[in-house]
Amino acid sequence: MALLQIKEISERLQISARAIRYYEEKGLITPEKQESSGYRLFTEQDAARLQTIVSLREVGMSLEEIGRVLAQMEEGDSEDVLHHLELQRAVLFSQMIEIRQSIETTDRIIARGKEQKKLAWDDIYEWTASLKQSKQLRSNWQDHWNYDSYAALHDERVGGERSQQEYGAYPSYPFALHRVLEVVNPQKGEKGVDLGTGTGNLAALFLERGLEMKGLDQSIAMLREAERKHSGYEVRLGNFLAIPYEDHQFDFAVMSYALHHLTEEQKRLALLEIKRILKPHGRIGLVDFMFEDRQAREHYVRTLRDEGREDVIADMEKSHYADRAQLIHWFEEHGYVTKVEEIHKRLHFIYAVPARGHL
Ligand SMILES: C[S@@+](CC[C@H](N)C(=O)[O-])C[C@H]1O[C@@H](n2cnc3c(N)ncnc32)[C@H](O)[C@@H]1O
């Protein structure tokens, strides 16, 4: 095998000799050294490794992460490498969304400055503070529920009779999923996305109708299970707060038992993200834990207390049941008309369509 000197490999790969030395310093490549001259000698394998390093740098991966990916590649662990790349894609989408928001804020400041010939410091502060707040909301989200550890058990849990009862973890599960399908009523040729897809049970109903469906979840183990169950179901790793799909891709978005993992503020951010990936006529069907409003929640909690169901109250408090009135308000403010159904006191279905569409 031909051995290349640093100048040759630098020219061939269009990477500066300085960068190559830097990667060597960081332990990412270990070229041989010619004893007599002390020159570095690179093998074809070093060249492939360097090419990989540069590509991964290009997608914004840190050197530390690159080191891990290279080690996994060497061990032939392609699943882990793919996981890294999927994480990286999610990070890039999140950065893109933040940059866009920064541009929008800057545009507003410029427009205000031009309009009023003078900048209102309060406005600037308010806009940049809201930018900072959305960044924090995005970065603060954590999977307190550890869904990766539930992936193998999810279908058993949702299928269990007790779990489907009123106080169970998945009340009315099959009914709720079918209701989403029925109301969203997808038409041939439409493209949809199941957000927080888990093992893909809701998406499956649409796939069975021959529709093109994509999925999203923050749990890699859930996604692997979804892919295993439904061949050809394309899913992406990512968060509702920075959805790794391009703008205006989908005719509809569906979601089941997932939105309650976000706080009220995070829900609003996620809804903006959902709106972004939908086509202008795109509709949303979501079924989740919520109460009609604050009074309804208080009433329900009082009833549970009277029945001695502190366990159900404790479970409810581990997540963020929505206030349906606030969700509806958000939809109306953003140009949607909605249809709501109470499946159970704490499980509701919301169908939202842009106002110029038809319910
Ligand atoms: C209770 S499971 C429901 C799964 C599926 N929709 C179903 O009905 O069987 C909730 C799913 O939402 C996902 N999830 C929760 N919060 C998320 C977030 N912020 N971004 C992406 N996925 C999220 C979890 O990883 C989990 O797979």
* Span 106-165, pLDDT tens digits: 998 888 888 887 777 787 888 888 888 888 888 888 898 999 999 999 999 999 988 888
Q: Whose CA is nearest to atom 24 of ligand 1?
A: 196
pLDDT score for 296:
95
d(CA 145, ligand 1 centre) in Å: 10
Ligand 1 site residues, Cβ closer than 6 angstroms: 141, 147, 158, 196-198, 201-202, 217-219, 222, 239-240, 256-258, 261-262
pLDDT score for 155:
96
b/e 41-60 (16+ beta carbons within 10 angstroms → b): bbbeebbebbebbbebeeee
Mutation test residue for ligand 1: of 91, 93, 193, 218, the one with most atoms within 8 Å of CB: 218
Q: Whose CA is nearest to atom 1 of ligand 1?
A: 257
d(CA 258, ligand 1 centre) in Å: 5
pLDDT score for 73:
86
d(CA 291, ligand 1 centre) in Å: 19
CA 170 to ligand 1: nearest atom: 1
The per-residue pLDDT of the chain, averaged, comes to 92
* pLDDT tens-digit readout, 298-319: 999 999 999 999 999 999 999 9
Cα–Cα distances in angstroms (integers) from residue 206 to residues 154, 240, 253, 312, in the given order: 19, 20, 11, 32
Report how far residue 322's alpha carbon sits from residue 301's, in angstroms, rounded to the nearest whole number. 14
Tell me the pairing of strands 32-33 and 322-323: unpaired
Q: How many helices and strands in the chain, by DSSP H and E?
A: 15, 11
Global pTM reads 0.87
d(CA 217, ligand 1 centre) in Å: 6
User: 49-53, 320-324, 339-343, 350-354 — which is least confidently predicted?
Assistant: 49-53
Identity at 37, one-letter amino acid code:
S
* pLDDT tens-digit readout, 55-80: 888 877 889 989 998 998 888 888 88
